[in-house]
Amino acid sequence: MLKHDIVARRPRIAAALVVTAAVANAAESIGMRMLLPPQPEDHAEALALVAAHRPTYAALTVVGTLAVPLLAAAFWVLTGLAREHTPRLALTARGLLLAGMWGFLGMHVVNLAQVPFSADGTREAGATAIAAIQSSPVFLVLFLLPFLLGCALGLLLLAIALLRSPVARWIPLALLAFLVVDFGLRNAGPVDAHWLFVAASVGAAREILRQPSTVALAVESSPRVVTVA
């Protein structure tokens, strides 16, 4: 049989990683919605809002930034759930989602920069700098496009791949619902879309714990043949 790295040896760690990444990512989005006023479009007004709520904004943004590498690892695990059944689709989704996480990280770095830029005396220059960065072709190509295309297409392919796998069908359907609400509707509903992502992640973690041997065959980085006596 095939035996693979951490998920084969430590399914509980893999399951905890998937849930922790989803919760940390959701904490930023839900916290921003519940604890802060709506983000203004104008950069100067946005920095004024950050200045008025600096500790809360900084804490939530740091949590969201730390969630990005966890999400990258979680997507590696989630795509592995479907790899045995749809290897090409799962690997394509994995590549797109990792590219999306690269873009997501770059966007968070810009968001973190708003904290020092919001200080008195630097706000006007900070607003100009943020506007210049976000409109820069380099930022668009290196970060924004990978985030939008990588995450949207990657989640779509991941959901399709999971629909063809043995995992509970509601898990990929929850991912599709999250994709529609968060990316299609821009998370404009009364309830934050990230609750759907958390639910799907908890369901996937449950599948990992219930069927560790099956998941172990699907989630890998460098397979090797193990002879069973």
pLDDT, tens digit (0-9, with 9 covering 90-100), for 14-24: 999 999 999 99
Distance CA 136, CA 147 (A): 15
What pLDDT does residue 6 have?
Answer: 53
Average pLDDT over residues 40-64: 95
Between residues 85 and 57, the one the model is more confident about? 57
Q: What is the DSSP letter of 200?
A: H
Average pLDDT over residues 109-137: 94
Residue 214 has pLDDT above 80, yes or no: no
At which residue do the structure tokens 């509980």 appear?
12
Residue 213 has pLDDT above 90, yes or no: no
SS3 of the chain: helix, strand, coil, percent, to 5: 80, 0, 20
What pLDDT does residue 191 have?
Answer: 82
Percent of the chain beyond pLDDT 90?
A: 73
